[in-house]
């Protein structure tokens, strides 16, 4: 079968802010299409995205999870030992990180994370109106996660700019990346310093990674790199995820009502939100060998852009109402956390944060009413909002 090409720019700011019409074009054009603008291949249907994510032998990560091919260009920072690595090296790092972020560790965070979620919900409901993004989706993770890692209080304002930079850096050298890079040097220095053993609080996730080095499971060079992974992948992702979830629920009052009726649906509501508006929209892989995808030939060493957010709305997988948010829908099988050996290792923490925030609000808020249109926050990889103003109608007898 011959190659299908499509003249779209997925990283143009109009498409980043409103990607869904472009997703539809990409999916309908074919199982794999060539984007001449960047000289890369793209997959936007669930079947092919899923198949590529679970075939790390043919679609590797070691040449970068962004547009830049680490065989051809110098990476903007030393590559992540997790995200931008392949087996067998990746396997060891994943084992160490998986142990540190295990379900049992994360169970230990529940009490403190819940107290913070309840206190914040009390404050915001008492206020009557607030901004879902700046007052909640940014504040909550920025308190509980750095505490869990064991960061000192000073300098935490560097975390969001660093995340914005890291996620913009998966895209092309456009205005967004240039802007993020402009003032990045002190931010990068602060982050690297925060990864060192002597500044991490005992008992935190960062200290646990250093203990893995003491036990000889990883090296003392690898320990700070894995702490860097926590700080790269653990902040913006949860900020966007909580913001997107509450934006979608405020725009769909029927869905809020379902959650209100049964707050134990919080975890399902979160999965459906991740499917409906995926915080991480795209990642790249690189072909390790010539490979046929649905009858189309891809050579070795080609970048492939995987549209996680489009796969999560593919009507071939989810049915004709794929564009509708429905917290009662079985959303499992979404690829918002990826799939296969690189699937998000921090999921237990992300899910805990979301569950506690959603439950705290569902118990206190009868109605979440948007008071203005949400403003989108442009990023080459992340889809989300910079502002989502709402009014809350409190439950009478909470």
Residue 315 CB, nearest approach to ligand OVM (Å) = 28
Residue 89 CB, nearest approach to ligand OVM (Å) = 13
* Window 73-92: residues binding ligand OVM (CB under 6 A): 80, 82-83
Q: Cβ–Cβ contacts within 10 Å for residue 34, how many?
A: 19
Report d(CA 210, CA 219) in Å as an integer. 9
150/224 with CB nearer ligand OVM: 224
Q: Quick check: 97 binds ligand OVM (CB under 6 A)?
A: no
Distances (CA, A) of 371 to 123, 270, 374: 19, 23, 9
Q: Which member of 229, 250, 255, 379 binds ligand OVM (CB under 6 A)?
A: 229
Q: Which member of 22, 101, 120, 166 binds ligand OVM (CB under 6 A)?
A: 166
Report d(CA 37, CA 171) in Å as an integer. 13
Q: 66 Cβ partners below 8 Å, 6+ apart?
A: 169, 170, 171, 283, 284, 381
Q: Quick check: 339 binds ligand OVM (CB under 6 A)?
A: no
232/278 with CB nearer ligand OVM: 232
* Triad 250, 165, 282: Cα angle to 5°: 60
Q: Quick check: 32 binds ligand OVM (CB under 6 A)?
A: no
Report d(CA 91, CA 89) in Å as an integer. 5
Q: Pick from 301, 303, 307, 302: which is nearest to 283 by CA? A: 307
Number of residues that bind ligand OVM (CB under 6 A): 8
In this structure, the dihedral spanned by the alpha carbons of residues 82, 55, 354 and 106, taken in order and rounded to 10 degrees, is -50
42/233 with CB nearer ligand OVM: 233
Q: 179 Cβ partners below 8 Å, 6+ apart?
A: none
208/229 with CB nearer ligand OVM: 229
Q: Which member of 22, 53, 191, 233 binds ligand OVM (CB under 6 A)?
A: 233
77/329 with CB nearer ligand OVM: 77
Q: Quick check: 167 binds ligand OVM (CB under 6 A)?
A: yes
DSSP per residue, 115-134: HHHHHHHHHHHHHSEEEIII
Report d(CA 307, CA 246) in Å as an integer. 23
Dihedral sign computed on CA atoms, order 187, 190, 194, 196 = positive
**By rule CB under 6 A, what string of x and - marks binding of each residue 175-214 to ligand OVM?**
----------------------------------------
CB–CB of 258/362 below 8 Å?
no
Residue 82 CB, nearest approach to ligand OVM (Å) = 4
100/233 with CB nearer ligand OVM: 233
232/287 with CB nearer ligand OVM: 232
75/253 with CB nearer ligand OVM: 75
Q: Quick check: 232 binds ligand OVM (CB under 6 A)?
A: yes
Applying CB under 6 A, the residues found at the interface with ligand OVM are 80, 82-83, 166-167, 229, 232-233
């Amino acid at each position: 079968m011959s190659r299908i090409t499509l003249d779209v720019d997925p990283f143009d700011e109009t498409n980043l802010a409103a990607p869904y019409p472009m997703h539809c074009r990409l999916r309908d054009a074919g199982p794999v299409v060539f984007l001449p603008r960047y000289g890369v291949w793209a997959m936007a249907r669930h079947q092919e995205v899923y198949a590529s994510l679970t075939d790390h032998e043919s679609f590797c990560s070691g040449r970068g999870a962004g547009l830049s091919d680490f065989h051809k260009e110098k990476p903007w920072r030393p590559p992540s030992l997790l995200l931008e690595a392949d087996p067998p090296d990746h396997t060891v790092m994943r084992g160490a990180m998986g142990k540190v972020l295990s379900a049992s560790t994360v169970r230990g965070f529940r009490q403190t994370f819940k107290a913070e979620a309840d206190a914040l919900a009390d404050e915001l409901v008492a206020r009557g109106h607030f901004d879902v993004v700046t007052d909640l989706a940014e504040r909550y993770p920025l308190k509980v996660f750095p505490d869990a890692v064991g960061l000192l209080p000073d300098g935490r304002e560097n975390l969001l700019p660093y995340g914005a930079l890291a996620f913009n850096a998966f895209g092309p050298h456009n205005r967004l990346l240039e802007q993020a890079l402009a003032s990045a040097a002190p931010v990068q220095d602060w982050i690297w310093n925060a990864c060192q053993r002597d500044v991490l609080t005992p008992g935190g996730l960062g200290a646990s990674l250093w203990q893995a080095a003491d036990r000889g499971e990883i090296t003392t060079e690898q320990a700070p790199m894995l702490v860097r992974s926590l700080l790269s992948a653990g902040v913006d992702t949860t900020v966007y995820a909580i913001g997107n979830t509450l934006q979608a629920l405020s725009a769909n009052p029927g869905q809020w009502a379902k959650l209100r009726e049964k707050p134990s649906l919080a975890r399902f509501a979160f999965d459906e939100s991740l499917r409906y508006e995926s915080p991480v929209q795209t990642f790249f892989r690189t072909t390790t060998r010539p490979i046929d995808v649905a009858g189309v030939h891809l050579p070795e060493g080609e970048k492939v852009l995987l549209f996680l957010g489009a796969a999560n709305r593919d009507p071939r997988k989810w049915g004709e109402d794929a564009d509708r948010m429905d917290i009662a829908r079985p959303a499992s099988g979404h690829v918002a956390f990826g799939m296969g050996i690189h699937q998000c290792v921090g999921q237990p923490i992300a899910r805990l944060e979301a569950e506690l925030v959603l439950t705290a609000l569902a118990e206190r808020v009868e109605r979440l009413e948007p008071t203005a249109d949400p403003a989108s926050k442009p990023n080459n990889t992340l889809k989300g909002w910079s502002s989502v103003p709402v009014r809350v109608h409190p439950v009478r007898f909470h």
